Chain A
């Protein structure tokens, strides 16, 4: 079974703090993704990575950055957290050889910025 784990289920931070969200997958997948999920908006892609040290902006990259130093780990960084970044963050991975490959999701991190 593919397993995607996220470092925290719930996180509370203060405005201006630097926040790290970590994601690890155990299936040697090429692609990894970060989404945010908001009610009524579905999932929106923040960033994705198709290889180690490679990244590409998604639909809403502003205020976020990412890091992928190892194949299994993909980090989302909020350089200076703001209240409008309060959301559910979901990480996903896929094998990456075909566009139709299934994305496997982690359980999510619910981030609250006060």
Chain B
């Protein structure tokens, strides 16, 4: 079985500041890891995913995440926050099936 823990249910950053969202996972097999974003009143949209190969993964809108097996982590970062980054972010893990296990989500607020 696999599970995800997102540290911090709310994160507030200033426009232009670093965005860092933390995700730790547990999995009995090598995991596939995903970050999704949900803008207000919308469904979820894939930001990026790690499957195999390079551990630093680049996604849309300037986001990236690094898979660290030794730390069982997959933290999401963006060097400079923009007002349009205000949304809820979900980390998810998948093992050997088609099912995703999601974290509880982190809401990002961007201050002008």
Contact = CB atoms under 8 A, between A and B. Distances in A.
Contacts of A102: 46, 49
A88 to B, nearest CB: 10
Nearest to B96: A99
A47 B4 CA distance: 19
Interface residues of B, number: 27
Contact of B9 (A40, A58, A90, A106): A40
Contact of B94 (A43, A100, A107): A100
A100 B102 CA distance: 15
Nearest to B42: A107
B44 A99 contact: no
Contacts of B32: 99-100
A75 interface: no
Nearest to A30: B98
A62 B98 CA distance: 20
6 smallest A-B Cβ distances: which pairs? A105-B43, A42-B102, A43-B102, A105-B44, A100-B51, A42-B104
19 contacts: A33-B99, A40-B9, A41-B104, A43-B100, A45-B99, A48-B98, A50-B98, A92-B43, A94-B98, A99-B32, A99-B98, A100-B49, A100-B51, A100-B94, A103-B100, A105-B45, A107-B42, A107-B43, A108-B43
Given A42-B102, A42-B105, A105-B44, 17 more contacts: A40-B104, A42-B4, A42-B6, A42-B104, A43-B44, A43-B92, A45-B101, A48-B98, A96-B98, A100-B32, A100-B51, A100-B94, A102-B49, A103-B44, A104-B46, A108-B42, A108-B43
Interface of A: 4, 31, 33, 35, 40-45, 48, 50, 58, 90, 92, 94, 96, 99-108
